[in-house]
Amino acid sequence: MTLEKDMQAWIAQARHRIGESALEPEFRRIGRVELIGDGVARVAGLPHTKLGELLRFEDGTLGLAMTVEEAFVGCVLLSSDETISAGGRVYGTGEVARVPVGEDLLGRVISPVGEALDDGPPIVAERMDPLERPAPGIVDRDLVTEPLLTGLTVVDSMIPLGRGQRQLVIGDRKTGKTTIAIDTIINQRDTDVICIYASIGQKASTFARVIKSVRDHGAAERCIFVMGASDAAPGAQWITPYAACTIAEYFRDRGRHALLILDDLTKHAIIYRQLSLILRNPPGREAYPGDVFYLHSRLLERAAKLSEQNGGGSLTALPLAETQSGNLTAYIPTNLISITDGQIYLEPKLFYEGQKPAVNVGMSVSRVGGATQARAIKSLANTLKLDYAQFLELEVFTRFGAMVDDRTLKKIEHGRRLRAILRQEEYSPLPLSLQVALLLAVTEGRMDALPVAEVERFREMLAKRLPTERPRAVAEINETKEVTDEARAALLEIVDACAAELTQVREGDEA
């Protein structure tokens, strides 16, 4: 009797709960996996799926609809496919892929889907923004007028960057492309620029080295690292630059300034080619799909300087691209060159000769930065690129043993000192005031009496004495980015003092 009473009570309670609950019909779109492998899946039974829609597999794995046909959907997976098998269920979400954005991401290492990859707490997002967003229209943009200093004298003086610009860094493998990007990030440690670094298909050890360099020399608490490692799912690597761009746009749209490093887009194009070929999309030139240009143009067009009515923020893009044997006319390099506002070309020959950064000034150009160059440098570097090019030609000419007059020899010696000040150690970006002092020293001929081998000691001595002996001039140049007559005189005075001290030391050693 007790058991029967308990059963009746339980039934009554269950009926009461069912009566109180609001039971409504639920619509769910369910398909099935037909084929799975190599990071992609073919899904049948979801005829209303839209391109770019997020799909959810039975085990919780997410995928992105990349091709939509009448009979099936081609889906790229955003994580491992080990637990997915043919015949499994797939659910249409009706949503697009999104990434968390907000202040909580600063200083963190995350995956392209917003998962924390460091030892910190889970990411707390302010909101979830879509990976794909339209680029700002022309009326929403403003002219690029504010400089973005890299701390590299060869770039800031001859190939200057502006906030809101898209500047390509291109060169062969192991020529210093990532180092230029890291130096630029490090140089923003005392500015208001937020840096977002996207690693696309890079080894985990390479990515760890980048993070360590920024933490040791820069302000990592104002940086965000997005990792699409080489061992991650191809789909995750593919969406990495779009996720990083969305995160950067969060700060831009709030009137702040962001720097986006994409390392590198050549690997990104290769990953996209692999996915397209597996999904049986028609191949084009070099087996790339026909929309490979749109792949990068829709990404890089999102970098912009917004007008004051839209907050005045900026997003500067610094994409990296790899060439094969210096071939700038290959398919992906020419595409990227046509999309961006200029390129910094790194030449292997210069790298192996020890000229680092190995920037080929003649083949590098900034189509915007000339109008945004810091006036402190612009006043000294008007003819610097031309003078440097003339020196390189004269130096090649003298290698044949031809006799040169004193005037030509003087130009060559002057050019060698210019080349020496353009050489920098990695992870050591220079403040604007020191760059101005060095350029002033070489353009005014104050270093002509020094041997080329002494230029490095001269720079080290100037870097130590300048902030302590001329703090007012240093602060004025770094803040206003201009050089007054008073500051110019103060810089020349300390330059002459350093040159004289080195001359005395050398003469004492010779005696």
Stretch 87-91: mean pLDDT, rounded? 91
Grouping H, G, I as helix, E, B as strand and the rest as coil, residue 93 is strand
Which tokens in the block code for residue 294?
């749109």
Instruction: Quickly tell me which residue has 């703090």 as its tokens.
Output: 471
CA distances from 381 to 151, 407, 411, 421 (A): 15, 22, 16, 13
| Residues with active-site annotation | 367
| Cβ neighbour number for residue 418 with a 10 Å cutoff | 21
Cross-strand partners of 316: 259
Which tokens in the block code for residue 254?
């709030």
Largest CA distance in the chain: 122
Closest CA to 321 of 305, 334, 303: 334
| Domains by residue range for the chain, with CATH | 30-95 (2.40.30.20), 99-373 (3.40.50.300), 384-510 (1.20.150.20)
Q: If you count DSSP H runs as helices and E runs as strands, how many of each does the chain have, helices first?
A: 16, 16
pLDDT in tens, 403-432: 677 888 888 888 899 999 999 999 999 999
pLDDT at 38: 87
pLDDT in tens, 158-206: 999 999 999 999 999 999 999 999 999 999 999 999 999 999 999 999 9
Stretch 378-389: mean pLDDT, rounded? 83
Residue 4: is its pLDDT beyond 80?
no
Which tokens in the block code for residue 194?
């937020």
CA distances from 366 to 31, 74, 149, 162, 168 (A): 50, 40, 13, 9, 9
| Cβ neighbour number for residue 370 with a 10 Å cutoff | 15
Q: How crowded is the C-beta side of 316, counted as CA atoms within 13 Å?
A: 30
Task: Give the least confident one: 76-80, 311-315, 389-393.
Answer: 389-393
Closest CA to 262 of 235, 233, 242: 242
The rounded distance, in Å, linking the Cα atoms of 294 and 261 is: 19
pLDDT band for position 57 (50/70/90)?
Answer: very high
DSSP 96-121: E-EEEESGGGTT-EE-TTS-B-SSSP
Residue 393: is its pLDDT beyond 80?
yes
Residue 131: is its pLDDT beyond 60?
yes
At a CB cut-off of 8 Å and minimum separation 6, what does 430 contact? Answer: 151, 152, 153, 424, 438, 463
Residue 252: is its pLDDT beyond 70?
yes
Give me the long-range contacts of 411-418 (CB less than 8 A, separation at least 24). Answer: 413/448, 414/442, 414/445, 414/448, 415/387, 415/388, 415/390, 415/391, 416/391, 416/452, 417/442, 417/447, 417/448, 417/450, 417/452, 417/455, 418/384, 418/387, 418/388, 418/391, 418/442
Residue 426 or 402, more confident:
426
The rounded distance, in Å, linking the Cα atoms of 314 and 256 is: 7
The rounded distance, in Å, linking the Cα atoms of 266 and 449 is: 46
Grouping H, G, I as helix, E, B as strand and the rest as coil, residue 169 is strand
Residue 239: is its pLDDT beyond 80?
yes
